[in-house]
Every structure is written in structure tokens, then in C-alpha cells.
Amino acid sequence: MGTIALQHSHEVAAGERFEFGKNWAAFLAVLDDERIETAVASLKQMLEVDSLEGKTFLDIGSGSGLFSLAARRLGARVHSFDFDSNSYACTKELRRRYFEDDPDWVVEQGSALDTDYLASLGKFDIVYSWGVLHHTGEMWRALENAIIPTKTGGKLFVAIYNDTGSQARRWHWIKKTYCGLPGVLKTPFAVAAILPDELKRIAASVVKLKPQEYIHSWTRYKNGRGMNRWHDIIDWVGGYPYEYASVDEIFDFYRKRGFTLVKIDSGGAGLGCNEFVFLRG
């Protein structure tokens, strides 16, 4: 087992880190062309491109590998890495399924906090890290490190949890508690954590005389990130380390480092992610 894999397993065993990759492994079983095309459309929209032909794409924290796959389908030469051992394995599996032995898609295990590793990768036209850097345990350092592989004139696409004040702090406690629990207690705790919101959803659908709306929120669940609803819930409840930032904080952070904001999606973020695309000057 490599150094990164050992570090990851130790942090999980100590209750300091959620195993995101286990959920991604389950997700691969339900991955289909529609979900892949949704990911492709998401990249095209936020990057404002029709193709990535001739471009290089770095996926920091590749998760299932879905968006690495989307970038490769758009023609980019892709380098993917993830700290989580199962996520690394998932990305390798997606590469095997769709681009086996492709020299233009490299998959490695690595850390967004390792400046030497990031520097060794070279410079990329697009550096992509969606919903990842706030899970490193050192978010601002990770945001700084994402600059290293971004070439001058290149785009940096990051998505970071929104700061909702006391609500975000409460979820920090929930996530940390979940990761420290014995395995047998994790599912009941997750159910208890989401129950208030689920009851509100049920009540709203009943008041509108449309109970099927709540049922469909499970049976017809679609999420641009790819997971089904239960996987998404566990990923949310257990997602620790967990940090967050306001739109202004992220904007100011990169503006001071020579980046220009070219696109943002913060509509209805709530506890979710604000998405930013910056251009490096």
C-alpha cells in the first residue's frame, strides 16, 4: 500500500475522514449514458465551450471519474487524481470501461495538499475541482495549491460549500459525529439527521395534494453530480472534513492572486456549492 493510501486509511480509521469512494463505487453500478451526457453538458455550460479538443484538463479529486470522463469525451487530454483510495479505483474503472489503455487519460492517487506533487504535473488549460477542496481539512491551503497547475490564460473551475452561518456550523458537528460513530450506528444516525427535512418534504407534497412529488424525489431522482438520492444523502451527512466559504471570500481570494471571475453559479446554493470559473491572468 502506498503512502497516500496508508494516510487515507489511517484518517478513516480515526474517524477523521468520510469514505467518499465507497459511495462512488456503488454509483458506478447505476451509471448510464444519460448521466454521462448530463456531466458533459454541465462542463460545456460552465466552461462556455463546445469542445475541449487540444486542451489539457486536471481533475483534482476525481471521485467517480465521471467528470474526467466527460472532459475526455469533449476531447481533452485528462489527468485525474484523488486522495480517497476507492475514488482512485473508481476513476480507474471508468477509464477501463470507456477509454481503456488511452494514453491521453492518466489516473493517479494523490493529495491536493501536496505542493510538490501538484508542481510535478505541469500546467493545464483547465483545472477542475468540484466539491473537493472543502473536504481536505485545509481548504484555504488547497485553494492556494490549485493555482500551481493552472497555466497563465487557463481556467480554474472550483465549487465550494456555501457559508450559511450557524446552519453550516451545525452540519459540521453532524458530519464529524457521523464519521466518529461505529459502523452499526451510522445509518440510523444519517436517517435521524435527514428526518426533519424529509418530513417537511412529505408535508409540502401532502398540502399540495401531490404526494407523488415526494415519491418521485426518490424514484426519479436526478442529480448533475451523478449519485442517486440515498448515495447523495450519505455523502452529505458523512462528508467530513467539512469547510465552507462565502461567495465574496472565494472571489476576493482569487482576485488578489491575479484571477478574474468569468462565470459563477450561486443561485439557490443554500448549504450546497457555489460554482466559480476563474481565468488566470
Domains of the chain with bracketed CATH: 3-163+243-280 (3.40.50.150), 166-238 (no CATH)
Residue 12 C-alpha cell reads as: 478513516
pLDDT band at 137 (very low <50, low <70, confident <90, very high): very high
**What span, in angstroms and rounded, lies between the C-alpha atoms of 8 and 83?**
7
pLDDT of residue 21: 66
User: Whose CA is closest to 67, among 83, 85, 86, 52?
Assistant: 52
pLDDT at 179 over 80: yes
What pTM was estimated for this model as a whole?
A: 0.88
pLDDT at 22 over 80: no
Residues 6+ apart with CB under 8 A from 130: 61, 67, 157, 158, 159, 225, 273, 275
pLDDT at 117 over 70: yes
Residue 135 C-alpha cell reads as: 473536504
pLDDT of residue 105: 98
pLDDT at 222 over 70: no
pLDDT of residue 6: 85
Q: Hunting for cell 472532459 — which residue is that?
A: 71
Phi and psi, residue 246, nearest 5° = -80, 165
Q: Give the number of other CB atoms < 10 A from CB of residue 268.
A: 7
Phi and psi, residue 78, nearest 5° = -115, 140
pLDDT above 90 coverage of the chain, percent? 72
Tell me 222's DSSP state.
-
pLDDT at 225 over 70: no
pLDDT of residue 12: 75
Q: Summarize pLDDT for 36-67 with one digit per residue, the tens.
A: 999 999 999 999 999 999 999 999 999 989 99
- Which own/partner contact pairs does 204-207 have at CB distance under 8 Å and 24+ positions apart? none
pLDDT of residue 252: 98
Helix (H) or strand (E) holding 23: helix 20-27
Q: Which amino acid, one-letter code, is at 273?
A: C
pLDDT of residue 5: 78
pLDDT above 70 coverage of the chain, percent? 94
pLDDT at 136 over 80: yes
**Out of 12-21, 182-191, 245-254, least confident range:** 12-21
pLDDT band at 216 (very low <50, low <70, confident <90, very high): confident
Q: What angle do CA 43, 19, 243 make, to 5 degrees?
A: 65
Q: Which residue has the higher pLDDT, 231 or 208?
A: 208
158 neighbors 249 (Cβ within 8 angstroms) = no
